[in-house]
Amino acid sequence: MVSLNRALDVTSSVLASTLRGWRGSMASRTVQQPAQLPEIFDREGCPECRLVREACTELNLDVKIVPLPDGGSRFAGQLRDLSGATQVPFLNDPNTDTRLSGAQAIVEYLFRHYANRSAPAQVQPTPRNLTLSKLATRVRSGQGVKARASRPAQQPLTLYSFESSPYSRLVREKLSELELPYVLINIGKQQRADVGPSNFRLHLGPYKPLPNTKRSEFFARHGNVQVPYLIDPNTGIDMFESADIVQYLERTYGA
């Protein structure tokens, strides 16, 4: 039964990424990572939030995610203080003192400020993109949308991920439901050789990430590049494998 549920989870997550045309897979080769992490108030299954996260992967930008699932109260006060409301997505960029609400404004700002260009149509909240993003949430049965009883984490966790990664989505959903803030390190694909799962790349020959990138740093540390990868400074653990990570989060923070 467990393995059937797992297979359904992975399949529906692949379908969710397919519905979004695998946006949030490829990352720019350069990044102007700012001194401080931009903060995004987010809900994993929120259709507009997905477009913002896709934009962050494509810009190769790391951000801090503050989850605000439906019924969640842990960060609602903080968001209300910043924005006067509790609507997500909301961006707080301390580097430029910018506060913006809604995918349209946020995606446009991120591309303009961090890449000096307009946002591509595919990550803008057009009726088509929002419909496909809603369908993606639907095929995931709204996982990550509603808050669950949980214990708070003293410090934010760190997740290496990229938006379309079907396995990483399962972890992000859990972080969202449990209202656990995390530093999202985006390591999207930057060349053809990056395409495919870590143990079965489409590229022939030994795998080599582009030099001087987050991927090459990760490769030097771990001997491969695979997401999701979670670091929890609260317990000192770091781990691969989405199923293990989801179980760990449930065990450590679920109430």
- The residue ranges that bind ligand GSH (CB under 6 A) are 165-167, 189, 194, 197-198, 225-228, 241-243
* Whether the Cβ atoms of residue 136 and residue 16 lie closer than 8 Å to each other: yes
- Residue 18 CB, nearest distance to ligand GSH (Å)? 13
Q: How far is the CB of 137 from ligand GSH (least distance, A)?
A: 19
Tokens 């609400």 found at? 101
> 108 or 250, CB closer to ligand GSH?
250
- Is 72 or 228 the residue whose CB approaches ligand GSH more closely? 228
Say which residue the tokens 């929890």 belong to: 232
Residue 10: CB minimum distance to ligand GSH, A: 8
Smallest gap from residue 82 Cβ to ligand GSH (A)? 32
Q: 40-72 in b/e burial notation, b at 16+ Cβ within 10 A?
A: bbbbbbbbbbbbbbbbbbbbbbbbbbbbbbeeb
Least distance CB 243 / ligand GSH (angstroms): 6
Shortest Å, Cβ 90 to ligand GSH: 27
Strands in 157-161's sheet, in edge-to-edge order, are 98-101, 90-93, 39-42, 63-67, 182-186, 157-161, 229-232, 237-240
Euclidean distance between the first and final Cα of the chain, in Å? 23
Residue 137 vs 161, nearer CB to ligand GSH: 161
Measure CA 144 to chain center: 12
Q: Which is nearer to ligand GSH, 6 or 113 (by Cβ)?
A: 6
Cβ closer to ligand GSH: 24 or 72?
A: 24
Record the tokens describing residue 105, joined without a space: 């404004």
Cβ proximity to ligand GSH, 74 vs 215, nearer residue: 215
Angle between helix axes 166-177 and 2-19 (nearest 10 degrees) is 100
